[in-house]
Amino acid sequence: MKQPKKIAAVLVLIVLIGGIWYAYQRHEQQARLAAAREITLSGNVDVREITVAFRESDRIRDLLVEEGDTVREGDVLGHLDSDELMLTLRKTDAQIAAQQSTVDKLHNGTRTEEVRQAEARLRSAQAAAEYARGVYMRRQAIYDSVEGVSEQELDNARTEANAKEAAVAEASQALQEAQAGPREEDVREAEATLKSLQEERAREAYVLSQYELKAPADGVIRSRLLEPGDMASPSAPVFKLSLLDKKWVRAYVSETDLGRIYEGQAADVYIDSRKDQPIHGQIGYISDTAEFTPKTVQTDELRTALVYEVRVYVTDDDNVLRLGMPATVRIAL
């Protein structure tokens, strides 16, 4: 009885071993078939980053965002101290108002009251000239007849008469200018001065707008490099911003698999925290030049094997990918 039992046990063992071997071979065959239908790559997440700085140099008054905050294009990130610039703007505004009054005055021309005043000054000058001329003529007659006045008195009377005649000519010219109104050259000069002040005001307003730091694109504040009270300048970045519009996984493919992929091919990206939720993307770049496997990349080939860089671009709507995060790329063939 013992002999048949031993034989049966051996047969069962043989069948069991055979089943295990068959299952193993089957699994290996399926793995080879799966490998033939899919390429798996390991890589790291990469994103574009930009540094954001003020265009003007002054002391930082405040910063409105912290590291990790999500910002949208146009969001205000901070301000510079603008007190001095505001004083300059108010001074320029006062100069513009004064010059505008001058231009308006020139365009409106001479007022009727001013013309009447010029006419009155001309009549007064004519009367004074007529009186001075009469005095001179009388003294000339006395001098010629009886020499009752000195030559010095006669010269003084002549000079006074000539001066009064010159005053008449000056008053007459002033009346003509009042009646004619301002010259076109004066109007153009005043308008040019006004325009220059307005352009200067626009420049100062633009500089003031640069005292406000705005986000140039959608992104996440990665680093805050300066603080309120620090001196800002165009060469001193205030924030480092990770852009949200384009992310990719940088991976490397061996030369044996290079011919099995192409740009535009669909790919799925997996990360450790979301192993069952792939992020869909596509291959956007394949390097034309081979290189040695980087130390951070895990492959089954030798480290000295040549590989080609591949970038798988993804749309990360949930913003779960972070710079440098390890990721697995699966490309269905």
Query: From start to end of 180-238, where are the E strands?
Result: 212-214, 219-224, 231-232
Q: How far apart are CA 40 and CA 286, in angstroms?
A: 16
- Burial class of 247 by CB neighbour count within 10 A (0 to 12, 13 to 18, 19+): buried
Mean pLDDT of the chain: 83
Domain ranges for the chain, please list them: 50-82+208-239, 86-195
Angle CA 306–307–309, to nearest 5: 145
Q: How far apart are CA 52 and CA 202, in angstroms?
A: 24
pLDDT in tens, 120-172: 887 888 888 888 888 878 878 777 776 667 778 778 878 888 888 888 888 78
Specify the 3-state DSSP secondary structure of 216: coil
Query: CB pairs under 8 A, 24+ apart, for 12-15?
Result: none
Two tokens, residue 33: 């078939």
The pLDDT of residue 303 is 46
Nearest to 252 by CA among 322, 217, 180, 301: 301
DSSP H/E element including 218? none
Are the C-beta atoms of residues 192 and 184 closer than 8 Å to each other? no
Nearest to 221 by CA among 236, 237, 242, 238: 242
Sheet holding 231-232, edge to edge: 212-214, 76-80, 58-63, 231-232
Q: How far apart are CA 187 and CA 165, in angstroms?
A: 32
Q: How far apart are CA 316 and CA 301, in angstroms?
A: 31
- Is the C-alpha dihedral spanning 188, 189, 190, 192 positive or negative? positive
Are the C-beta atoms of residues 244 and 218 closer than 8 Å to each other? yes
Distance of CA 27 to the CA centre of its chain: 60
The pLDDT of residue 98 is 93
The pLDDT of residue 182 is 67
Are the C-beta atoms of residues 241 and 48 closer than 8 Å to each other? no
The pLDDT of residue 2 is 56
Nearest to 312 by CA among 289, 280, 278, 288: 280
For residues 19, 23, 28, 29, the Cα torsion angle rounded to the nearest 10 degrees is 100
> Could you tell me if residue 208 is left (phi over 0), alpha (psi between -120 and 50 degrees) or otherwise beta?
alpha
Distance of CA 293 to the CA centre of its chain: 40
The pLDDT of residue 83 is 93
Q: How far apart are CA 257 and CA 315, in angstroms?
A: 25
Regions in the chain scoring below 70 on pLDDT: 1-6, 8, 10, 29-36, 109-113, 115, 146-148, 177-182, 293-305
pLDDT in tens, 27-57: 776 655 555 578 888 889 988 889 999 999 9
Domain 50-82+208-239 class, CATH top level: mainly beta
